[in-house]
Structure 1
Amino acid sequence: MFGVTDYVNPTSCVEKSVCEVIREMTDGGADYCFECIGLASVMQDAFNCSRPAWGKTVILGVEMHGSPLLVNPYELVKGRTVTGSMFGGAKAKSDVPVLAQKYLNKELCLDGFISHEVCFEDINKAFDLLNQGKSLRCIIWMDK
């Protein structure tokens, strides 16, 4: 769904680390690794799961605790890369109208990302769901 080909549940990795499991699944490392949580330890794991020589790690989460990301410079010289992506690199003024039109034309399926809908009066419920990690995207209806 949404382009994901495989995933690993870290709680199911009891005898091996997540990185070892991913390296085995991909015969050496994933070409692309994405970190979406905002923890330096997970960023490090994503980097370590990427393929030596050309693996790309994309950091989407924001590290809020001030922990540094430790990367061996030798791995960068050999070809691995780490990059960040705020809003997927989209430019709001030019890209949002195009994406909105694609959605309206049913060329872009976004409905699967919506996990909850609440009335404006229940906006605090939306924040509670987000803080509890129970909501992916919540629609807040202003007119209901």
Structure 2
Amino acid sequence: MLKPVSLLLLRMGTGFLLSIWGLIKVAAPEASIGVSEKYYGGVLSVEMLQVPLGALQILLGLAVVFGLFRKIAYPVQSIVLGLGLLAIWKYIADPLGMYLLTEETREVLFFPSLTVFAATLVLLAFREEDTISLDKRLGR
């Protein structure tokens, strides 16, 4: 029973993270644009994209949380969070600002992004053992 509960908790953590960031895009697009410009090189910083992207991100996050459409939702989640991780690779490679960053530009709080991405891979690897999900209840 520990593995299904652990997978449920991973789904909740990664899915709600996506949903929260999606909600920020919808409710406060300027905040999302600011983060994008500061840390992600301005990729997808166009204001008119924030609400539709945020809505899609919320839906993806909720699909992950509930374990719905897992064959699609889990890989898409891995891609989204993996691309986010790649965009902040310097903060992962040098969290203390010793080589690539400075003490002023370092951002230790980004380091858990590596763990979040790893969680998406665990969900993919153990999808068939993820029995506390709507897909399993619906026989998918």
- Bin for the TM-score computed over the shorter chain: under 0.3
Task: State the structure with bigger RCO (CA 8 A, min sep 6), 1 or 2.
Answer: 2
With normalisation by structure 1, the TM-score equals: 0.22
Whose radius of gyration is greater, 1 or 2? 1
